[in-house]
């Protein structure tokens, strides 16, 4: 059986962007994760060790977002790679990285990338 786990709205302050100022000033980001797995055993046993721990997902996101990238595409791919590498129970994965109020010479709420794999 396949189940979905989502961790949405992970709010972070990070230093991604092509502009030098973005590396100094930083900005607000939101990361959403959706993954497919089989947590049938955990649903029956009520044991955390039989499913994917949300704390581990949040930690991976925080660590990868803490490494400066010019592009959110790059940091998003690092998050995907790390989750797939560290958590073997993942069948498939979707990661969305949203940059709030990007400096793109316009009145834009946010920009986002989505990686599925």
Tell me the pairing of strands 27-37 and 110-116: unpaired
Residues in contact with 81: Cβ distance below 8 Å, sequence separation at least 6, in sequence order: none
Q: What is the pTM of this model?
A: 0.96
65 by Cβ neighbours in 10 Å (0-12 / 13-18 / 19+) ranks as: buried
pLDDT at 96: 99
In whole angstroms, give the CA distance from residue 64 to residue 55: 14
Instruction: Give the residue numbers annotated as catalytic, written as ranges.
Output: 99
CA angle 65, 14, 11 (to 5 degrees): 80
Q: Taking the domain 3-116, which CATH number applies?
A: 3.30.1130.10
Domain boundaries, the chain: 3-116
Phi and psi dihedrals of 88, rounded to 5?
Answer: -70, -20
pLDDT band at 1 (very low <50, low <70, confident <90, very high): confident
Per residue in 55-110, pLDDT (tens digit) is 999 999 999 999 999 999 999 999 999 999 999 999 999 999 999 999 999 999 99
Sorted by sequence, the CB contacts under 8 Å of residue 113 that are 6+ apart come out as 72, 73, 76, 96, 97
Q: Could you read off the pLDDT of 4-33 as tens digits, one per residue?
A: 999 999 999 999 999 999 999 999 999 999
């Amino acid at each position: 059986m396949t189940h979905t786990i989502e961790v949405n709205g992970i709010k972070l302050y990070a230093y991604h962007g092509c502009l030098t100022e973005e590396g100094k000033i930083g900005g607000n980001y939101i990361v959403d994760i959706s993954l497919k797995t089989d947590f049938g055993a955990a649903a029956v046993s009520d044991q955390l060790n039989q499913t994917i721990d949300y704390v581990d997902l949040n930690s991976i996101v925080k660590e990868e977002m803490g490494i400066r990238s010019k592009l959110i595409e790059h940091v998003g791919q690092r998050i995907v790679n790390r989750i797939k590498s560290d958590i073997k129970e993942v069948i498939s994965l979707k990661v969305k990285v949203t940059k709030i109020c990007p400096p793109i010479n316009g009145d834009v709420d946010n920009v986002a990338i989505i990686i599925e794999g």
